[in-house]
Chain A
Amino acid sequence: GENVEQHPSTLSVQEGDSAVIKCTYSDSASNYFPWYKQELGKGPQLIIDIRSNVGEKKDQRIAVTLNKTAKHFSLHITETQPEDSAVYFCAASMGGNQFYFGTGTSLTVIP
């Protein structure tokens, strides 16, 4: 089955700096890669996603890049703000099937 690894497990950045979280996956059949933000005591919220036919996608301060050859994808958050502090999960999926989640990254943005 699919195996998703995520690094780092914790990340602290100064407000205004950029944050990068990286994930690798094992199954080349995976074709959908969402990123979720989870605040304490709440369910995950989709913040951005990318499909395997696209190499990069950007939405304001958030961007995701995908390297299919190397089987890794990354989340980039620019101009970080304290409200960006949360746990971020990457996931890989093969279309309509289940999601395989990474182990999560706890991001702390220091004011």
Chain B
Amino acid sequence: GAVVSQHPSWVICKSGTSVKIECRSLDFQATTMFWYRQFPKQSLMLMATSNEGSKATYEQGVEKDKFLINHASLTLSTLTVTSAHPEDSSFYICSARDRRSGDYGYTFGSGTRLTVV
């Protein structure tokens, strides 16, 4: 089945620095990738939708200049948290759509635990 690889699985960074999270579709081409954020014991909240070769669409309340998303190829999307602050500490998860499965083939990455100190 479809596999989405997300790295790193966890990262600790100092306040004010930037962190990049990668999401790769290993055995399929992903025209669309979604980035979610999940706080402890809460549900997944969609941050943005990225389409290969075009700008990401951000959900209301998500700062596009702080959470930079790049989807330059059909197998790679990156989320960069710029000038990270402790309140950005969270679990970030990507999801990719498998074109072969049409509209219903979504696979999630394993998530990245970000801790800003």
Contacts and interface: CB of A to CB of B under 8 A. Distances in A.
A32 B108 contact: no
Nearest to B57: A98
Nearest to B2: A46
Interface stretch (B11-19, B39-47, B61-69, B75-83): B39-47
B71 interface: no
Interface string A74-85: 000000000000
B93 A44 contact: yes
B110 to A, nearest CB: 5
Contacts of B41: 104, 106
A101 B111 contact: no
B43 A32 contact: no
Interface in A34-68: 34, 36, 41-46, 49, 51
A103 B43 CA distance: 5
Contacts of A36: 108
Nearest to A32: B104
A96 interface: yes
Given A41-B113, A98-B34, A98-B49, A89 B43 contact: yes
Nearest to B49: A98
B46 A98 contact: yes
Interface residues of A, number: 21
Contacts of B107: 46
Contacts of A103: 42-43
Contact of B43 (A34, A42, A51, A104): A104
Nearest to A95: B103
A46 B4 CA distance: 13
B24 interface: no
A42 B110 CA distance: 5
Contact of A44 (B44, B97, B102): B44
Contacts of B44: 44, 89, 99, 101
A44 B108 contact: yes
A43 B3 CA distance: 12
